[in-house]
Structure formats: structure tokens, C-alpha cells
Chains A and B, each alone.
Chain A
Amino acid sequence: MTAPAAMSTPPAAKPRRRWGPLILSGPSMLWYAAFFVLPILWIVLYSFGTKDTARLPVPVDMNHLGLQNYRQAFGETFFQVFRSTIKISVLATALCVVIGLPVAYFITFKVKERWRGILLALVIVPSFTSYLIRTLAWRIPLAGNGALSKLLQRWDVINGPISLLDSRGAVQLAIVYNYVGFMILPLYVALDRIEGPLREASKDLGAGRLRTFSQVTFPLASPGIVAGILLTFIPMCGDFVTATILGGTKGNMIGALVESQFVAAQNWPSGSAMAVMMVGAVLVCLIVGGAVTKVVMTVLRARRRVSLGSLA
């Protein structure tokens, strides 16, 4: 009796392994289909419609589909805001790399194990506490009679109080501030995964520090840089809180525009077209950035190739 029972166990276990994961993932899949895929598909559809406030609850006329919303978006203020958003985001991402890389490098290679955890915690804590409040807090030093203005007056850089609020500079500063932590962390992770012996081998083979950094450490850290760019650039493009709080009318960003089209203007088709273009622009930026990096890397690698045949 026992033998057949034992024999029958493996076939009984097989279907569990095949269907188990799918059953476990099923709820999430349905959830994402219902509340992520479908809503965004509707946004794409709305972007071809026309505004019709007579229809409720959805103020969109879907009978006359066309590209008018996209055409309209390209002409007006939208395009200007669009350009400034991309400019702010690209500059901020670059600044985050420049500011964050030395910090990540220092934490990874230059401090003892015990300090590494403390320094990382000091990066994580401000990055994960309310970014709305931290953005709002910048209004204090940047105000007309705030700390920064007073400091600049004491150093005789400016005479008379200036307000740095409601300007593009303020938005740029706060965006760099809000995201630099999310650049440092993936950079640290990537640098920490580089194995020590590789860098030591480079040194033993006679490479200077700069050369070791540029030809060994930096290329090996590039996945972290890519992750950091994804983690900072994409949210920056959609950020509208920073612009709303610090930008006034000058530092408008595309996220705020999209939001106002939906909430204030009740112009869903126009807002949808803007949202679709925003995501498209983010993708184009990432693809162009990726392609340029790839070309540059290929060229550099080709120039630096060491032919072992000539040595032999």
C-alpha cells in the first residue's frame, strides 16, 4: 500500500510547481491590468478626442477623433514649458552624478566598514523623509529676508535683500536636492559590488589612480550610473510639487501643466495628449542618452584595445 502512495507523490507535486507561481502572481496581474494598463490606455484614447464639458462624468467627446490636441500642444506655451522641463531635468541629473559620484566613491572605498553604515544612513534618512516638507522648507532660507539673502549681503555679493523664490533657479536647486540621494545610493551599490582585486590588479599593472578610476572603476560602476539616472531623471520629468511650491509662475514644469489641464481646466483630451508626449519625451531622452553613451563607449574601447598579438 505504501509503495504506490509514495510513487504518486512526485506527479502530485509537479502541477503545484507549474501552477503555483501563476496563481500567486495572478491577483497582482489582474490588479495592474485593472488599475494601471486600462487607465493609461484610456488616457491614450482621450488624447485623440475633443473636450466636451456637457458630457458627464467624463468630459470627452470621442466621436471626432484626431490629432488636434497634439498639434495644439506643439504650438503653445506647452512647448516652452516642455523644453524648460527637459532642460531642468537633464541639468539636474548631470549635477546629481557630479555631486553624488565623489560621495558614493568616498563611502565605498575610503572609509572603514563601521563608518560606511553611518554615512549611508545619513544619506538615506533625509532622502526618504517627506520630500514635500523638505521642498517647502527651502522657502525659509530662500525668502527675501531669509538666511541665504542675508549671507550674500554680508559677503557683499549683493546689496539689498533679494528673493530667490519663484524662480527657475530655486526649482533647479530643490530638484537637485530632492534627488541627489537617489543617485548616491545606486552608485554606492554598484561601486561596492566591484571586486577589490580588480582595482588592485590595475594598480599592480602600473596604472595610476586616475587611470584605475577611469578605465576600471568607472566602467564597472556604469550599471549604477544607469540605475541612478533612471531613478532620478524619470521622476524629475513628472515632478510638479517642486515647481508648484518654489517655482511660482516662472518655474513651471510639465507635470504641473498636465495636472492643471485635468483638475482646473477640465480639458482631459489636452491633458492626455500632454501626458502622452511627456512619457514619449522621457523615453526619447533615455534612448538618445543610451545610444550616445553606447557609441562613445564603443569608440573609446576600440581606441584603447590592447593587441596581445603584437606583444608575443
Chain B
Amino acid sequence: MTATLRPRKVRKGFDPSKLAMAVWTALVLIFLFTPIGFIVAHSFNKGNSLVIWNGLGTKWWGSLFDSSVTLRSLEKIVGISLFIYLIGWIIERAAHLRPRRIRSFAGPLGFIVAVIVVGLQTHWYFDLFVELNIAPAMRNSFTAAIGGTILAVIFGGLAGVGLARTTAWWSKAFMFMIILILVTPEVMDAVALNGWFVRLGGPFSHDTWRLNGGILRLWVGYSLYTSAVVTLIVRARLAGLDESLEEAAADLGATPTRAFFQITMPLISSALVAGGLLSFTLCLDNTIIASAVSTAGSSTFPVYVVSSVKGTVRPFVAVAAVVLFAITMAALGFVYSVLKRSGESTTQIAATMTGT
């Protein structure tokens, strides 16, 4: 008990082993950032090949912001996000809630709403990446990632609550299943799903209404791994809280459904947001399942990059990659702040990120 409260001792004075480890850590961090540095640098490459440096220029960034629609849409996104954040803040003040109770979710929520609203209004992302025909691939990436994340949050959220609230015999088998999904080499999963979708046919091979069959395949394929991740995060979050709150709700006459939505949901909302954002970044980046499962009409940005490696990779890929980096980092930042505000320590966050 006291061990967690006592600050860890850090040796004072000169310590050669500490110095050596500091230097080693610095070198490893430089190693980790080296390729990212190269990608950012080469997005300012004037030439026509990503790899061969041909002088400094903003030619490829210029093509990103060419259309005025793009800039206006970005303004709108920022505006709507800020507006929703502000509303959250006002509600918080007016209702005398605990500080940051709403605001911590208003930011990411506002951003997501803004992206969806603006995305429905215009094809801003389309104009953004119209260069080199990346646009369809980018759109597919986002459509697939959003669908996969929604499925993951629904399935993972429900299963996480279920697993945290039982010790029945089947829960061990189910946990084993989830671990199995997490540790199966992804390529096995990918080829198995590919064969399965071909065998099933139906909506997975033909367009149903406006839903592309390939996109449906991607949703299902992405949802497996990511829902397992969300399940573990939600389960870990609820395991720390005892059942008495839900029991109290039941004693006060709440139906199980009402108790679930009014007690359990708020308790796990931070875990759902964190898990959702984490699975969004995982989906956006997924290459193995996407390249095995996607069809001609649903190939994503990573699939495009893999296929373009055989020829000359244009520096515009680096520009797109930097934009994706920014989105991923924003999502990770949200994950961190949401988990931090729900009272988790740095270690718990690191544990959550790796599923341990």
C-alpha cells in the first residue's frame, strides 16, 4: 500500500551507469524518430521521387492546399469543434458539474462531429488528396476505419462489461478466445477472412444499396482485432470499480437497461473513447488485412502505398503520410488525456496501450 505512495528514490550525484543508460535511451529515441524525420524532410522534396532528394520545395504541399474548398473546410472543422467544446464548457458551468467532466469528451466529440458534418457537406478530403489519385484510397481508409471502430466499440464495450461482471465458466473460455485473436499472426486472419468472404458472397461480393462489398469486408476484418482491444480496456476499467453502484441502481428500482445506460455507460465512457481512438489509429494503419481482403473499389491508402513501392514513390505520399501522422498523434493525445483525466497512472496507460 505505502509503496505506491512513496516517491521512488533517484540517486543523486554522478552515476556512470545512469549516464550510460541515458545516452543509450537517447540513441534509441533518435533511432525511433529517424525514419519519421526523413519522411517529413522528404515531403519538402522538389523532385518527382520520394527517395531521391532533388532540392527543397513546397511543390507537393502546395498541391495539398491547392483548392480553396480544402481550406474553407478545414476552417469549418476547427470552428465546429471549438463551438461544441464551448457548449460543453457552458453546460458544465451552468450545471455546476465537476470541472472538465464534460469538456474532456467535448473536444474529441466535437472534432468527430465536425469531420462528419463537413464530410457530408463537401468532399473536402477528396479535394485534399486529389493529387495522384490518392483521394479514393484516402476516402476508403477513413470510411473503413470509422466503420471498424464503431463495430469495435459496440462489440468490445458490451463484451467488456459482461466479462468484468462475471466469473462464470464460459468467461474463461471467452477470455482465451480474445487472447487468441490478439496473438494470431495477422496474415493468418487475413487470408482466412479473404477465403471466407469469397465463400459467403452476398453483401461481401456485391454492393448492397450504396454499401460497397469491399468496404463491408474491411469493417468486419478490422473489427475483430480492435474489438478485442476495446474489450480488454473496458474490462480493465470496470474491474477496478465494484458492482455496488449498479446494485444500488437496481435496489432503487432501475431496470437493468436503465442501470446500464445511466450507471455503467458513464463509468466506461472514458474507456470507450480511449479504446475507440486507439482502434481508429490501428484501422487507419492496417495493411495486412486490408491488402488481403479489399477489392478493387475499396483499396485503402496503405494498400495503395504497398502497390506503389514497385514503381517510383512520389513525394506526395510523404505529404499524405505527414497528414496521417498528425491525425494519429492527435488521436493518441486524446487517448492520453482521456485516460489521464479518468484517473489512470502513466503505467496503467502504457499497459492499456499494449494490452498487458
Contact = CB atoms under 8 A, between A and B. Distances in A.
Interface stretch (A71-79, A235-243, A295-303): A235-243
Given A16-B256, A117-B346, A128-B281, A24 B324 contact: no
Interface of A: 9, 13, 16-18, 20-25, 27-29, 31-32, 35-36, 38-40, 42-43, 46, 57-58, 99-100, 102-103, 105-107, 109-113, 116-117, 119-141, 143, 145-147, 177, 180-182, 184-186, 188-189, 192-193, 195-197, 200, 209, 224, 227, 230-231, 234-235, 237-241, 244-245, 255, 258-259, 262-263, 268, 271-272, 275, 278-279, 282
Most buried by A among B161, B191, B201, B251: B191
A17 to B, nearest CB: 8
A21 B21 contact: no
Given A29-B174, A105-B21, A196 B9 contact: yes
B8 A139 contact: no
Given A106-B21, A120-B349, A262-B195, 15 more contacts: A25-B174, A42-B195, A132-B306, A133-B324, A135-B35, A136-B309, A136-B313, A136-B321, A137-B38, A140-B42, A180-B32, A185-B354, A231-B355, A259-B190, A275-B188
Contacts of A268: 195
A133 B224 contact: no
A40 B168 CA distance: 27
Contacts of B188: 40, 43, 238, 258, 275, 278-279
Interface in B317-356: 317, 321, 324-325, 328-329, 332, 336, 346-347, 349-351, 353-356
Contacts of B168: 18, 21-22
A31 B227 contact: yes
A227 B356 contact: yes
A43 B191 contact: yes
A188 B356 CA distance: 11
A58 B201 CA distance: 10
6 contacts: A25-B163, A43-B188, A112-B10, A126-B33, A141-B34, A230-B183
Contacts of A120: 346, 349-350
Given A102-B25, A209-B17, A279-B185, A130 B284 contact: yes
Interface stretch (B98-106, B110-118, B285-293): B285-293
Most buried by A among B39, B187, B220: B187
B26 to A, nearest CB: 10
Which 6 residue pairs spanning A and B have beta carbons closest together?
A238-B185, A24-B162, A137-B35, A39-B196, A25-B162, A39-B192
Contacts of A263: 194, 292
B214 interface: no
B22 interface: yes
B170 A109 contact: no
A129 B191 contact: no
A43 B18 CA distance: 51
A308 B355 CA distance: 40
Contacts of B121: none
B302 interface: yes
Given A130-B325, A230-B183, A234-B183, A39 B10 contact: no
B296 interface: no
B68 to A, nearest CB: 28
B10 A111 contact: yes
Interface in B273-302: 281, 284-285, 287-288, 291-292, 302
Contacts of B325: 129-130, 133
B7 interface: yes
A139 B223 CA distance: 31
Contacts of B351: 186, 189
Given A122-B32, A245-B306, A13 B185 contact: no
A133 B356 contact: no
B192 A42 contact: yes
B8 A196 contact: yes
Interface in B28-79: 28-29, 31-36, 38-39, 42, 50-52
B256 A195 contact: no
B155 interface: yes
Nearest to B255: A16
A25 B159 contact: yes
Nearest to B205: A57
A21 B24 contact: no
A262 B350 CA distance: 37
A126 B288 contact: no
B347 A42 contact: no
Contact of B181 (A9, A20, A36, A241): A36
B174 A143 contact: no
A99 B8 CA distance: 24
Contact of A124 (B186, B227, B321, B353): B353
B305 interface: yes
B291 A259 contact: yes
A3 to B, nearest CB: 15
A121 to B, nearest CB: 7
B181 A131 contact: no
A253 to B, nearest CB: 10
A193 B354 CA distance: 15
A181 B196 CA distance: 33
B187 A240 contact: yes
B184 to A, nearest CB: 7
Contacts of A146: 51
A35 B293 CA distance: 13
A237 B32 contact: no
Contacts of A109: 8, 10
A133 B261 CA distance: 40
A167 B324 CA distance: 28
Nearest to B225: A36
Contacts of A31: 155, 223-224, 227
A52 to B, nearest CB: 14
A215 B324 CA distance: 45
Contacts of A21: 161-163, 165-166, 168, 171
A131 B154 CA distance: 26
